[in-house]
Chain A
């Protein structure tokens, strides 16, 4: 699915502007939306899935304006919201069946097969009779992804999918998404965890305070920061000083000294050497850049 977002702005009735003039084009595959808490990611996602309306701007999905063709768009999307924990009293398979009935026109037999297939795919077949409420956090997320997938959507919107999951669940979840991205489906994944993006997305954007701070590939984002990541070994006094002047990305204590990685436009210390940048560095770089602090 091709999504064109032009001039998207969302201002809430209380005057708070969550999204400011966002312009993006999103194609097939995994698309990562990175940003700190409160950056406007959830608002953006909710607008994408027609859960709320933008104040201005347009979104075209495969050329269709989502405000004009809401019903049609809704047949093509799957959505997993950020908080997906509290269920009404339905069993796991019933919950999925409920979603299935509302988004597909499958006959009962086929539907049940499909529901069980999906449960199997997300590893919940063993607990199909359990009340959805009684599932663990990771299972609930997986049930969430299953319900998002049940209508075979062209666009999958997943808001903060790995929050609160243990590492094993997290990897499992990423793998499910990776499998999906092989098909002709657009997956939009919002997260504030850099690792989620670096391991799965080919395209991404970074939102900060409602504005797009970066758009492109993760590699492109890393490239932007190349030459601005420094590594240096410092004593206590030096470390305390540098901490206040630069954005420190990591510190490792070694033999009474500190091995420090930091972001700086120019060499922060005579002994500083260039370090290999990664997405986390880029994230900090762009965040700081946006804030206009420390970077000269």
Chain B
């Protein structure tokens, strides 16, 4: 049935034919050219490559093969369908059909030909990588990667694609249709099932996690191997089916039947593999569901608290053997005859001792329950010892994370990384409390009792026996004897973690705190770049720490701060009830392998930028200064967050890694236990954390309104509890943040902002390393301020009504106060909404004209941000606020926190300030009288009003119409990035006119067909001055302000009582706000003003028009 000789013969000659095929040659040259350029651009020293591209020794061939995988599959489809099709053009094939070969010889021979060529091509691809790899002075060379990745990526792809192409073209007997179908299939996979189902359907291996860690090696080889084998074997099955269905008489009937039968058998085998894959994906999901449901059963059961916990751990291969000796206490009010612990479902209980007596225990999934051999009265203590052994099931971690987030990829450039929550390998171990590697009395998430209270701070001790040459890292002072590490934390902790591996420690003592970096052997890439720092490091750290503690007003509560390198795959989630991710542990920050993709750890690039920056600013900096700047930038941006990110898309990527050190000041240090207010801890943390926000948020540019406003909208419909249990995670996060900010801003207004903060800081400092009860806090606040916070918390968390603020007046003066120049800002703000509200007013001296939003500077000077001033404006009130400033302000920002306002944060430039001498100044706030009605002599039509209309005769493009038809939600406002071609759309922003909602209509400029019109209701005939509301010079468009001096115009058509005027209005000198348009006679019939879309700028805005009677 199979003749190897025939197969080899056919493959040899067909390979020759393919090799001479121009299409193949073009593809091959294109592929080689593309990869060469890619390697030069990304990995070579032609420019400074990113450290993240060089740091991992598995990266180079993998990146090339992954990038080429999709085009390669498409090329195989084209060539394979051409190779097997039967058509008149190669009728000489017929003479080979009557040769003594079997159908299988024929099909396999052709497939082998294709396979050989693409194998060679892939060899060239990886050779390109190899050349760049071995010539790069910064990366390491890992030979295995050059074998492993071609086998795992390209080979199964080629086999599968060849098989399915052969089969389809044999069945359909039509090459073009087959190609269209196959490319469609690939498209469906890429568009609809991208990153779905654990990438089971990813037949090209584009997103299947196969990136390898230099610390922990290839993660989940089993899944990758099985997934790739599935496609390889399926490809083979398809080849057999092709031979079976081939339009050629087989050697014999039985041969044909046998070929078909083997094809079916291989197909069945591949189906079994697929089922196994499905189970591998499904099992963890099911386990999680079961655990969550079990949590629900135990959530309300009273339990003991652990006072001290001594863990003795032995590591063997992929298992641990542990012995936990605990002193527990009954802190409840009833006698306990049942106690329980949580422990990873992969660990089994070997023995349980209560007060030294062996008792039986039952373990269901992760719950160990003990019901016999004791009775524990309230306040009574007893000793419990648990012996356990086994593996760690990672899927038990982060149960509060829903399936979608759990299965979402861990992005690393274009790769998706295997998400790991723990490592337990003979060469590497990383365990955090999230995987329940030691017994605890706190059970995890269940929707019934979503809040996870912290129950206790425990006196831990840990003894770990490691393998030869490995270092163990945990909390507390460590004592090493042979291979045994003993850790003794100096204070009670809420949790401990453990990392074991070939670590090297670098440490420094500064102000009695030990700062240590634990990096993997040979991973000290930073040492060369920061070689000048050692003797100044201590003062750098002191400065950074002082800066942070000044901002936070809490002292670091631990004796050490350790930065531990962890594999790239180590993954964590943002939590609802806590402010930390698993990257932060008590005393510990887990930083990613060789810095991962953290830009600030790309020290070479940072130093280069530092050089460029110094050059462009004509600064002369020593190497030492440069390194110090780079070091400061790293710490301030990543760890202390005293420099905000350059930009963000609020609401996206909520689970991005956060290495902020703040949890060590709050979450791991103290906390409030509250039965009722599960979110209180989070709210307080949120209020106290003093981190710099991103300088720009682009969510409005994308969505039309900011993410805050989206959440405000949601909070008008649902209470916080409803949001927490139902909304999307990013909205939960933001809503909690906003509510927390509002709650404490509100409380601050009631008792005095500085008083409240000082009270809370003092409370925390007095309760380091312990929990306190909410009731105690409540009572203390009541005593101190005579204020019961309980009803306020209740109201804020549950209310849905919101204030709405109208800025009625904004006056600004430069006042000569003797010799001194001072600045008086007066504003009148009305709350016209249906709830009390708090506003925060911030002035800044920032000059926005440098245009450098996008490219961050290394260690840029933090803006001296004046702290915001809060003001409570009750429902229906109008307040006049006065500010006296010593420095000339450029902008005022009014943050309305939770309100109906869009934008919720209004920033307005002051422009030129009018001068006054020796005028009386007012500072503070006072209730204002009813604001005066708009004079009847003034008429304003805004784009939000019904007297505004827009018209467009232009049909959208087919693509746009299709995309619009797919939108499921009604959208009122659109981002400016969504520049409409065929109609006028509304967008929002501080720079537009409006009372509560500041918006304008905008459209892509055109030839004058699209028109926006304002129609006033004129009550009194007469001459009117017309004003149009502008964003500023050339509507702030970049192209108009790039100093080329070109003038731009808007085309207005004014219909007045005397007829119609066409005006080309020069907008190149426009001021932000009202700009004079002209004076015309209007009578009661009204008339109108229209703006066409004719303009040399790319966008035309239609905002508001004002008629002022002369």
Partners in one complex: yes
A269: Cβ under 8 A from any B Cβ: no
A90–B91 touching, CB < 8 Å? no
Check A90/B13 contact, CB under 8 A, given A71-B100, A102-B6: yes
Q: What is the 8 Å Cβ interface bit string for chain A, positions 48-76, against chain B (1 contact, 0 not)? A: 01111100000000000000101110110
Contact residues of B between 237 and 270, Cβ < 8 Å to A: 248-252
- The stretch of A80-88, A182-190, A212-220, A253-261 in contact with B is A80-88
Closest partner residue, chain A, to B17 (CB atom): A88
For the complex, give the distance between the alpha carbons of A49 and B20 in Å. 30
- Binding site of B, secondary structure by majority: helix, strand, loop or mixed? helix
B358: Cβ under 8 A from any A Cβ: no
Report chain B residues within 8 Å CB of A94.
13, 16
A98: Cβ under 8 A from any B Cβ: yes
Give the contacting residue for A148; candidates B14, B90, B95; CB below 8 A.
B95
A210: Cβ under 8 A from any B Cβ: no
B190: Cβ under 8 A from any A Cβ: no
Contact residues of B between 65 and 100, Cβ < 8 Å to A: 88-100
Closest partner residue, chain B, to A153 (CB atom): B98
A230: Cβ under 8 A from any B Cβ: no
Q: What is the 8 Å Cβ interface bit string for chain B, positions 90-123, against chain A (1 contact, 0 not)? A: 1111111111111000000000000000000000
For the complex, give the distance between the alpha carbons of A56 and B70 in Å. 49
A84–B91 touching, CB < 8 Å? yes
Give the contacting residue for A103; candidates B13, B16, B99, B250; CB below 8 A.
B99
For the complex, give the distance between the alpha carbons of A86 and B91 in Å. 6
B995: Cβ under 8 A from any A Cβ: no
For the complex, give the distance between the alpha carbons of A95 and B9 in Å. 12
Closest partner residue, chain B, to A80 (CB atom): B95
A83–B91 touching, CB < 8 Å? yes
Task: Pull 15 A–B residue pairs with CB atoms less than 8 Å apart, ordered by A.
Answer: A50-B98, A51-B98, A70-B250, A84-B92, A86-B92, A88-B14, A88-B92, A89-B16, A94-B16, A99-B95, A101-B5, A101-B13, A102-B6, A102-B101, A103-B100
A107 to chain B, nearest CB (A): 12
Closest partner residue, chain B, to A81 (CB atom): B94
For the complex, give the distance between the alpha carbons of A214 and B16 in Å. 47
Closest partner residue, chain A, to B101 (CB atom): A102
B21: Cβ under 8 A from any A Cβ: yes
A232: Cβ under 8 A from any B Cβ: no
For the complex, give the distance between the alpha carbons of A132 and B16 in Å. 14
Closest partner residue, chain B, to A86 (CB atom): B89
Given contacts A90-B16, A102-B6, 13 further A-B contacts (CB under 8 A): A51-B94, A51-B97, A70-B251, A74-B251, A84-B91, A88-B93, A89-B20, A98-B96, A99-B95, A101-B5, A101-B13, A132-B92, A144-B92
For the complex, give the distance between the alpha carbons of A144 and B96 in Å. 12
Give the contacting residue for A79; candidates B10, B98, B251, B252; CB below 8 A.
B98
A92: Cβ under 8 A from any B Cβ: no
Return the 4 tightest CB-CB contacts between A and B, nearest first. A89-B20, A71-B251, A74-B100, A102-B99
Report chain A residues within 8 Å CB of B94.
51, 79, 81
A74–B98 touching, CB < 8 Å? yes
Residues of B within 8 A of A (CB): 5-6, 9-10, 13-14, 16-17, 20-21, 88-102, 248-252
A77: Cβ under 8 A from any B Cβ: yes
B92–A102 touching, CB < 8 Å? no
Residue tally, chain A, CB below 8 Å to B: 35
B122 to chain A, nearest CB (A): 23
A47 to chain B, nearest CB (A): 10
A147: Cβ under 8 A from any B Cβ: yes
A184 to chain B, nearest CB (A): 20
Report chain B residues within 8 Å CB of A79.
94-95, 98
Report chain A residues within 8 Å CB of B92.
84-88, 95, 132, 144
Closest partner residue, chain B, to A159 (CB atom): B94
For the complex, give the distance between the alpha carbons of A102 and B9 in Å. 7
Give the contacting residue for B95; candidates A52, A75, A81, A86; CB below 8 A.
A81
Report chain B residues within 8 Å CB of A88.
14, 17, 90, 92-93
Check A86/B249 contact, CB under 8 A, given A79-B95, A102-B6, A102-B96: no
Check A89/B17 contact, CB under 8 A, given A49-B98, A84-B92, A148-B95: yes
Q: Which of B5, B13, B98, B100 has the most CB of A within 10 A?
A: B98
Closest partner residue, chain A, to B22 (CB atom): A89
Report chain B residues within 8 Å CB of A72.
100
A83 to chain B, nearest CB (A): 5
For the complex, give the distance between the alpha carbons of A194 and B1055 in Å. 95
A180 to chain B, nearest CB (A): 17
Report chain A residues within 8 Å CB of B91.
81, 83-86
Closest partner residue, chain B, to A157 (CB atom): B98
A219 to chain B, nearest CB (A): 32
B20 to chain A, nearest CB (A): 4
Report chain B residues within 8 Å CB of A50.
98, 249
A99–B88 touching, CB < 8 Å? no
For the complex, give the distance between the alpha carbons of A54 and B93 in Å. 21
For the complex, give the distance between the alpha carbons of A148 and B248 in Å. 19
B21–A87 touching, CB < 8 Å? no
Closest partner residue, chain B, to A97 (CB atom): B13
B607 to chain A, nearest CB (A): 55
Report chain B residues within 8 Å CB of A70.
249-252
Report chain B residues within 8 Å CB of A71.
100, 102, 251-252
A75–B89 touching, CB < 8 Å? no
Contact residues of A between 18 and 56, Cβ < 8 Å to B: 49-53
For the complex, give the distance between the alpha carbons of A102 and B88 in Å. 22
